[in-house]
Structure 1
Amino acid sequence: MLQPDSRRTLVDSLRPPPGTRLDWAVGTTYSLNLTTLLVVPAATAHSAGGGWGDDDDDEPDGFTPVGLLDALNRAADRITVFCDAGQIAPPLHRRRVLLGFVEQAVVPVTAPEGGVFHPKLWALRYVDAAGGPTYRVLVATRNLTFDRCWDTITVLESDPDGQPLPGIGNVVRALPDLSVSPLSSARRDRIGGFGDELDTVPFASPAGFGDLRLHAFGLGGGSWPFPKTCHRLLVLSPFLTAHTLKRLPQASIRRSVVSRPDALAAVGQAGESYDRFTLNPAVLDDVGDLSGASRDDPRRVDNGLHAKLYVTDDETGTSWWTGSANATSAAFERNVEVLLQLRTTNERHSASALLRERKEGDPEARTLRDLLVPWEDDGTEPEEPVDDNQDELDRLRRLVAAVAFSATVVESEPGRYGVTYRSDEALPVPEDVGLRCWPATVGQPDRPAALDSDGRLGYETSATLTTLSAFLVIELTLAKLSTAFVVRCAMHGEPDNRRQLLVAELLGDEHRLVRYLVALLSDDDAPLDGDGTNGAGVDIWSGGDLERLPLTELMIRALARDSGRLRQIADLLSTVRHGGGRLPEGLDDLWDAVWQIAREDVRG
């Protein structure tokens, strides 16, 4: 545990076990980048060990356009991500036209006790071909962003010989009540039922650990989880407050804290009872700075230490607490947070071992201590805020994001729509603060936004099928500073078959259409690779004779195993035809023959 050479990405941790597919997932994150969100359905659409190819550097994680479209259509409806309402970053990637597939997956929330919504928790249910379920819980410190931080993630797999995870069901069931806008009754019921289900699932502990327990804070309850005293205490936290450092367990032998230099300097004398460390600057990535943005603007890319871990040694063993909670007053008094508690008697997981320096020539793998350098207070005063307007913009962003918004759609002509975005109540935006907004699927606003006499936002625009969006970017400016973020609007009047129309529009030509049909008909764990093949190695059609493709074989296999896929294709081809699109020569006759058999099978 915590060995620098042992790394696992969040995307890897979401991939289904071999021979399974994602059935349902609930995730939480403080900050959310919508482009990063597109990777989640892609990761969960195929089993571990599958590949997406890497020949297209412009795609998230190397996913091809058709492969990503296939993944989104397969998995997006099975995922719900709860995120802090004020921390959704506008998309910058050219694939923002795909955001229509994940609109319902995003649920902006607020913390009921006045802080922020800060957990990084995932609960996932996978099923095999026979419908048998397996479960996974991730307790992480990683947000769903492009940050380049040092984080931790704990993966718990279901196991009949394991133990239940107390607290997991309560957290999942509480999430819908935090939403800025009401969830549909169907989604709310499914999330509640999933929470009930998780209460009964036994999970295997990480190797060498046991006695699992999930602590939640800010959801009505959540007591201080730490003992009063211990032999040794180790704290990893990028942010600190003096009050919490003093409140943490008193140690009879040693107290140590690993944090960021500015955080250590800011707590002053409260840190003097600790041995203080920071990450060695040599292991940090340079991410640059977003000039002109507010301090907590969601567009910022973070780096440095982001892991949160508390370790105590006592006479009977070692306890770990890991998750989202920083060593701050806000974390334990106002925010929504989670911490996973684990217990071990293995000395190599103790606070003492984690900070033990290796001797020269020691063959053991690198340890946490190898990444650290001691920090000494040089007497330099902590930097004062450069501009108080930064904090004011962050405050206003949080207030605006907590308001519910709607988007009303009216088709003005075939394929074109008028859209009116409105806030449900007055926005708390002072006169000296500038306001602009635009759909997240376009780059910049085409006309100004305005507040009516009641202070409510009103913004009208026109859209095509690919730019129609429930995601609205809002930009606030004060003096020379700005903050930009996304709100999700309740959409009214959208086309009933919008998803199918969008798929047909994005496929664009015969080549992509045929590739997509092969993807739909292939096994769930064999998506399209970047080299133009599916996971089974079938050459993908590039024009000409359809007989070179195994479409007939794939359709017959789907007819025998999963006729629901043929219904998807029937709807798609109908949409393409009615939309004026062209089908490859010969596909009509092939499809009509298979579809006739499928309908007779249903009637029989």
Structure 2
Amino acid sequence: MFRSAQDRLDYGEILRPPAGFVCEIAVGTTYSLDLETMLGVPLALFFREEMDENLLGNPIAILEGLRKSADKIALFCEGGQIQVPRTNPVFALLEDSVFEVVLKNQKSFHPKVWLIKYVDSNSEKLLYRFITLSRNLTFDRSWDAAVVLEGEVSEEVTDKNRPLIDFLRFLQARTTAADKEKRIRALAEELPRVHFQTHDQHFIDFSFLPLGIGKGYNKESTGLFKKYHHLLVISPFLSRTTVLELDRLSLTNSHKTLITRRSEIPHLTQEMLDSFPCYCLKDTVVDGEEAISESESAMADIQKQDIHAKLYFKTKYTEHDLYIGSANCSLSAWNGNVEFMLRLRYKKWGFRISQVIDELFGRDKEDFDERHNPFERIVEMPEPNHDEDDVQQLLQNAIKSLCRSGPRANVTENNGLYAVTIRFDLQKVDTEIDMTIELLGGGSAAKIQNTTVLSGLSLLELGEFYIVTAELGEESLQRILKIPTRGIPAERDAEVFKTIIKDEDTFLRYVVFLLSDDYLLALLEQQTERGKTGSSSWSFSGYDRPVLYENMLKAAARSPEKLREIDEIIQLLDDTDIVPPEFDRLYTTFLQASRRLKS
């Protein structure tokens, strides 16, 4: 269950639909968001391929994934926690799928779940998948945990999904796009007849446990903060009061284990370390990538690997409960934040929590050597050192305050260029911190004031993603804010498409990719052709057009809906320099043929 080397889940794999199914809608939540990571979500959901680096590195695959997913993905994140990506115009196509959640009283939106509805392409059978994770939608490489449940529709109504339905209602109220709000409402209305299963005989029951979404959804309702005999807590972040509360709930002759990050130990006391045995990953594991790197270029992609899983395994008599999800062992997590946990009831003859700990530490192996244990026990309190972290937290708080001020923006046009006027309410924003704002799409930055103007912008630079830079002394922090922006011309999306589909050959390759039955194979064929021409960029010149005609003929006979997708692209681009007239005539012929076949 918890062998770090064997029991692994791939993020793309747990999103990917089963063979023969297509994604109907996917609702996800995360605390922090990396827009570059999010580009991989449509590839997994709509291409049903492995999260192959060939797909992730191909602009045509990304563009088609974004087009397919535009009305089917809704992702909610904490306001002010979108990381700044590398410049790429395609991020503008994510604007209608990302929703920032801003809570009152400095509380955080922290759940990490997916609820996905798939439909069988042939039988129209429905499949629902619920995923709870501890991982944000970022490229972070820390140790996380996830559980996947799948369910099918039955005539019998169940109350078991009521907390999940209420969570969807909470999200629905924070959706700023009418079409997504309608889809989420419809999904919630379907759940009373969906029966989820764990597909593991030892997990005999489960409970959905959202926190902070309304009356009754609090830590008391979870059952975690009750007396126990044995307890394992894995949490990257701690509050002394919460750890102490769990420590005091132990019964006589209990066994307790805490696994956390080394940086969190100063939140505890020496007495707590003695009473509640605490372990951290060894530095050789945390810094492992740096240790094996042999080049300066590789160093740029190095990330530390530390604990990020949130897991509570609790035993009382013969009852074993596993809690897994987003809630840290901290005061804010269990007292106000919006979180999501899943409780699993575990039943196996002779089971003990010590067996889980042995798996984590590698002690279940016959040839166990303590030197290979990735964890080490912390027996003495280290010296605290939070000066730099404190400044970063001030900057983070300033950006969140800016997000909570309810900014709004409006676009105006003058002689082919555009200006964006943004209005803030800066009454509760720390004036000692300098902040500037600029569009993610480009243009110059401006100092944030109650009324801030960004001018001299091109159509392609317009969007709802803005880069905010906060500075205090020598410290700085950048985040993306999504600000509702009125007046963005409707043709902006077409300009984004044209940054990739920029000529006739690129368009024809896009169509080949769209018509293919095997997206990865089509991509590899295009890359092979690119290699023959000696091109290192996606110029797409010299493609063999008979392949295109063959695929269009197959589509007319077997998949006429793909021809309708081509029509969407043609209408979007609306450019004869990109869509050759002879192709338009040929496409019309195939489309008419497909209609005759259908009739």
TM-score (norm 1): 0.84
CA gap of 1:387–1:359, structure 2 versus 1, over 3 A, is: closer
- Cα displacement (A) at 1:188: 1.5
CA gap of 1:241–1:545, structure 2 versus 1, over 3 A, is: closer
CA gap of 1:63–1:16, structure 2 versus 1, over 3 A, is: farther
1:295 corresponding residue in structure 2: none
Query: Which stretch shifts more, 210-219 or 62-71?
Result: 62-71
1:192 aligns with 2:194: no
1:15 corresponding residue in structure 2: 16
Q: What does the per-residue CA deviation read over 1:23-42, in whole Å, with 9 as the maximum and x for residues that have no partner?
A: 10100000011111111112
CA contact (8 A) 1:427 1:456 kept: no
1:291 corresponding residue in structure 2: none
Query: Which stretch shifts more, 355-364 or 508-517?
Result: 355-364
SS at match of 2:387: coil
d(CA) in 2 for partners of 1:326, 1:52: 29
1:73 aligns with 2:67: yes
d(CA) in 1 for partners of 2:322, 2:384: 31
1:29 corresponding residue in structure 2: 30
Match of 2:172, as an amino acid? Answer: P
- Cα displacement (A) at 1:491: 2.9
1:150 aligns with 2:146: no
d(CA) in 1 for partners of 2:422, 2:182: 28
SS at match of 2:28: strand
Q: How does 1:388-403 map to 2 (within 5 A)?
A: 388-403=390-405
Q: Which of 431, 455, 458 matches 1:460?
A: 455
CA contact (8 A) 2:323 2:343 kept: yes
2:366 corresponding residue in structure 1: 362
CA gap of 1:555–1:263, structure 2 versus 1, over 3 A, is: same
2:542 corresponding residue in structure 1: 543
2:243 corresponding residue in structure 1: 245
1:590 corresponding residue in structure 2: 586
2:509 corresponding residue in structure 1: 515
Q: What does the per-residue CA deviation read over 1:189-208, in whole Å, with 9 as the maximum and x for residues that have no partner?
A: 22122123234311111522
1:371 aligns with 2:364: no
- Cα displacement (A) at 1:168: 1.4
Q: How does 1:273-284 map to 2 (within 5 A)?
A: 273-284=275-286
2:433 corresponding residue in structure 1: 433
Q: Paired residues, what number?
A: 562
CA contact (8 A) 1:422 1:456 kept: yes
CA gap of 1:63–1:348, structure 2 versus 1, over 3 A, is: farther
CA contact (8 A) 1:510 1:582 kept: yes
- Cα displacement (A) at 1:285: 4.1
Q: How does 1:152-301 map to 2 (within 5 A)?
A: 152-159=145-152, 164-177=160-173, 179=174, 183-207=176-200, 208-220=202-214, 221-224=217-220, 225=222, 226=224, 228-248=226-246, 249-252=249-252, 253-268=254-269, 269-285=271-287
SS at match of 1:394: helix
Q: What does the per-residue CA deviation read over 1:510-550, in whole Å, with 9 as the maximum and x for residues that have no partner?
A: 22211111222234x6356542359xxxx99852662x214
d(CA) in 2 for partners of 1:417, 1:600: 47
1:296 corresponding residue in structure 2: none
SS at match of 2:446: coil
2:552 corresponding residue in structure 1: 555
- Cα displacement (A) at 1:558: 3.8
CA contact (8 A) 1:33 1:144 kept: yes
- Cα displacement (A) at 1:457: 3.2
2:294 corresponding residue in structure 1: none
d(CA) in 2 for partners of 1:76, 1:40: 12
> Could you list the runs of 5+ residues in structure 1 that have no partner in the other structure?
56-60, 289-299
CA contact (8 A) 2:110 2:338 kept: yes
1:332 corresponding residue in structure 2: 334
Q: Which of 124, 129, 136 matches 1:136?
A: 129
Q: Which of 81, 93, 105 matches 1:101?
A: 93
CA gap of 1:447–1:351, structure 2 versus 1, over 3 A, is: closer
d(CA) in 1 for partners of 2:364, 2:196: 39
CA contact (8 A) 1:436 1:474 kept: yes
Q: What does the per-residue CA deviation read over 1:293-318, in whole Å, with 9 as the maximum and x for residues that have no partner?
A: xxxxxxx9764101111111222231
- Cα displacement (A) at 1:319: 0.8
d(CA) in 1 for partners of 2:282, 2:413: 57
d(CA) in 2 for partners of 1:430, 1:237: 31
Query: Which stretch shifts more, 66-75 or 493-502?
Result: 493-502
Larger relative contact order, structure 1 or 2 (CA cutoff 8 Å, min sep 6): 1
2:563 corresponding residue in structure 1: 566
- Cα displacement (A) at 1:236: 0.6
d(CA) in 2 for partners of 1:195, 1:528: 37
- Cα displacement (A) at 1:411: 4.9
Match of 1:460, as an amino acid? Answer: S
